[in-house]
């Protein structure tokens, strides 16, 4: 069955794209495996030069590529342009730093000379999601390619044009055939590929269910994996926080990409002394968000990417309300074309509600009231997820002490959780394992080999 590229703003079909058949897949895997050795043998500086060329192509086509993102998955055009900028930045980052990150590390031992050397694993299968359809691919591919691996991309089925365009950008930059390629296949075919002995590692960003399936298969075949799964990040407000900064950051942190972000602030945990003030300020700011055409710069609330995502979110909101949460704004799908959901504020969220227990992947802010700082920390850690979290306080030392005790992969003090090429990114618990970005990211898909010389 062919893939359909659908505009979330109006539900219209943009184009129909044929899936790759078994012959296409076999050809792509063979090409990626064949070129893996020669690509790994190139000096790091040569691979870095290719990444610099990719960054140049991204910047040269910035507006066009951003429109591809917005039309196919619904992101606000300004956010889409920022996504392209970030992809270019991560390419530049690894072009500049890969040689240092992959340099041999001498170690004192009983040898005449001993050291650790970093060598690529080979062919990496990248299974990537739709919500940041360029960034999450480049976040995986840039360090993997810089390290000397080849990459096959299986992208989400609702962003086939993004997937093909990404491959086009790499080809325009001059990468040898097979070093990076896109496979338009379904999830079942991708999971079957994990068993192929030519594929040496898998990187997946997606749902818990997909992560468990891929990890199970990879474990059976002894393949290295990195999993970045869901998140329900805590946004903790202590009694001394600057509420102007809190509200502005809360709205940005929750409603970016219409709330469809793993590291979006989702659980707003506020100490009782400030809870009424925070809710009173949040409500008008949330109600002011304007849904509309995401290509219009005046629009501030994008649609959800698919109809089923909106239905699932609405059921989670309704179930939370039935369990006692209070809806202060929104709380419903918007009428008319497209898959818009009203910007929503839920108060008095408590354990047992979907808004407390689960990830709400859409424009819904859930306020949980805590008696004090100690209870706020307990609530922040009372989640099966552990991707990111933030704490807001006038005292940076207090904030750092709190952040150190948060059970997550990235904790921010007085800042919105974000991914940064310079810092490792990833989660714990049901949010997955492994790290992308930074020095740790480039070393995920390498063999850290001991070399001992007598």
290/284 Cα distance (integer angstroms): 12
CA torsion through residues 67, 72, 77, 83, sign:
negative
Task: Characterize the bridge pairing of strands 432-433 and 224-228.
Answer: antiparallel
Q: Which of 72, 228, 359, 444 is catalytic?
A: 228
Question: 3-class DSSP state for residue 43?
Answer: coil
Which string of b and e fits 267-299 if b means at least 16 CB within 10 Å? bbbbbeebbeebbebbbebbeebebbbbeeeeb
Give yes or no: 228 in active site. Answer: yes
- Establish if 375 belongs to a structural domain: yes
299/93 Cα distance (integer angstroms): 32
- Indicate whether 332 pLDDT > 80: yes
Residues 330 and 366 in one domain: yes
Joined together, the tokens standing for residue 338 give 């497209």
Q: Tell me what the mean pLDDT of segment 180-189 comes to.
A: 96
The pLDDT value recorded for residue 343 is: 98
- Establish if 359 belongs to a structural domain: yes
Residues 120 and 195 in one domain: yes
- Establish if 282 belongs to a structural domain: yes
Joined together, the tokens standing for residue 116 give 């650790």
DSSP 257: G
Q: What is the pLDDT of residues 220-248, one digit of tens each?
A: 999 999 999 999 999 999 999 999 999 99
Q: Which of 162, 262, 327, 408 is catalytic?
A: 262
Q: What is the pLDDT of residues 139-179, one digit of tens each?
A: 999 999 999 999 999 999 999 999 999 999 999 999 999 99
What residues make up the domain containing 21?
A: 3-229+431-453
Residues 108 and 194 in one domain: yes
Q: Tell me what the mean pLDDT of segment 4-23 comes to.
A: 97
What average pLDDT does the chain have?
98
Residues 143 and 266 in one domain: no
Q: Quick one: which of 211, 246, 274 has its CA closest to 427?
A: 211
Residues 267 and 205 in one domain: no
What total number of domains does the chain contain? 2
- Establish if 425 belongs to a structural domain: no
- Establish if 140 belongs to a structural domain: yes
Task: Characterize the bridge pairing of strands 150-154 and 180-183.
Answer: parallel
Residues 406 and 445 in one domain: no
Number of H helices, E strands in the chain: 15, 20
Residues 331 and 349 in one domain: yes
CATH number of the domain within which 150 lies: 3.40.605.10
Rounded to two decimals, the pTM is: 0.97
- Establish if 259 belongs to a structural domain: yes
Backbone angles phi, psi at 194, to 5 degrees: -55, -30
Question: What is the separation, in whole angstroms, between the first and last Cα of the chain?
Answer: 60
CB 279 within 8 A of CB 288: no
CA dihedral 65, 68, 70, 74 (to 10 degrees): -140
Q: Tell me what the mean pLDDT of segment 53-58 comes to.
A: 98
Q: What is the pLDDT of residues 357-401, one digit of tens each?
A: 999 999 999 999 999 999 999 999 999 999 999 999 999 999 999
Name 447's bridge partners.
119
pLDDT level of residue 1 (50, 70, 90 thresholds): confident
Question: 3-class DSSP state for residue 381?
Answer: helix
Question: 3-class DSSP state for residue 429?
Answer: strand
Question: H or E stretch including 170?
Answer: helix 160-172
Residues 309 and 280 in one domain: yes
Count CB neighbours of 10 within 10 A. 12
Q: Tell me what the mean pLDDT of segment 119-138 comes to.
A: 98
Residues 337 and 244 in one domain: yes
Neighbouring residues of 147: CB distance < 8 A, sequence distance ≥ 6: 98, 102, 118, 120, 442, 443, 445, 446
Task: Characterize the bridge pairing of strands 432-433 and 428-429.
Answer: unpaired
Residues 303 and 212 in one domain: no
Q: Tell me what the mean pLDDT of segment 335-346 comes to.
A: 97
- Establish if 426 belongs to a structural domain: no
Residues 375 and 290 in one domain: yes
**For 262, what's the count of Cα atoms within 13 Å in the CB-facing half-sphere?**
29
CATH number of the domain within which 391 lies: 3.40.309.10
- Establish if 91 belongs to a structural domain: yes
Q: What percent of the chain has pLDDT over 70?
A: 100
Residues 33 and 166 in one domain: yes
């Amino acid at each position: 069955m062919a893939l359909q590229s659908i505009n979330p703003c109006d539900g219209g079909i943009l184009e129909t794209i044929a899936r790759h058949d078994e012959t296409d897949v076999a050809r792509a895997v063979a090409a990626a495996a064949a070129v893996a050795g020669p690509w790994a043998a190139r000096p790091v500086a040569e691979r870095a030069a290719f990444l610099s060329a990719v960054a140049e192509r991204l910047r040269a086509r910035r507006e066009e590529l951003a429109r591809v993102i917005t039309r196919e998955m619904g992101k606000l055009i300004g956010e889409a342009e920022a996504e392209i900028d970030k992809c270019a930045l991560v390419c530049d980052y690894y072009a500049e730093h890969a040689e240092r990150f992959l340099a041999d590390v001498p170690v004192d031992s009983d040898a005449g000379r001993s050291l650790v050397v970093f060598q690529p694993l080979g062919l990496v299968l990248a299974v990537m999601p739709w919500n940041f359809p360029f960034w999450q691919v480049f976040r995986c591919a840039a360090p993997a390619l810089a390290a000397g691996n080849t990459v096959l991309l299986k992208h989400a089925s609702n962003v086939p044009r993004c997937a093909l365009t990404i491959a086009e950008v790499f080809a325009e930059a001059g990468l040898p055939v097979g070093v990076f390629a896109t496979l338009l296949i379904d999830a079942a075919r991708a999971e079957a590929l994990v068993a192929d002995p030519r594929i040496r590692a898998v990187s997946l960003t997606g749902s818990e269910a997909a992560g468990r399936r891929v990890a199970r298969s990879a474990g059976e075949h002894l393949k290295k994996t990195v999993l970045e799964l869901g998140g329900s990040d805590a946004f903790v407000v202590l009694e001394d926080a600057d509420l102007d900064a809190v509200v502005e950051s809360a709205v940005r942190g929750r409603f970016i990409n219409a709330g469809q972000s793993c590291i979006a602030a989702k659980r707003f945990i506020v100490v009782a002394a400030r809870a009424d003030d925070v809710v009173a300020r949040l409500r008008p700011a949330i109600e002011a968000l304007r849904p509309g055409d995401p290509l219009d710069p005046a629009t501030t609330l994008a649609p959800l990417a698919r109809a089923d995502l909106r239905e699932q979110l609405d059921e989670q909101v309704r179930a939370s309300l039935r369990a006692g949460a209070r809806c202060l704004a929104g709380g419903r799908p918007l009428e008319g074309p497209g898959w818009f959901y009203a910007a929503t504020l839920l108060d008095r969220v408590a354990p047992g509600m979907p808004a407390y227990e689960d990830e709400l992947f859409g424009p819904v802010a859930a306020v949980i009231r805590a008696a004090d700082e100690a209870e706020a920390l307990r609530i922040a850690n009372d989640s099966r997820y552990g991707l990111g979290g933030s704490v807001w306080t006038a005292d940076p030392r207090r904030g750092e002490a709190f952040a150190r005790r948060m059970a997550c992969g990235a904790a921010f003090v007085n800042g919105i959780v974000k991914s940064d090429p310079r810092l490792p990114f990833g989660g714990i618990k049901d949010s997955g394992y492994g790290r992308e970005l930074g020095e740790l990211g480039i070393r995920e898909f390498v063999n850290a080999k001991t070399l001992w010389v007598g």
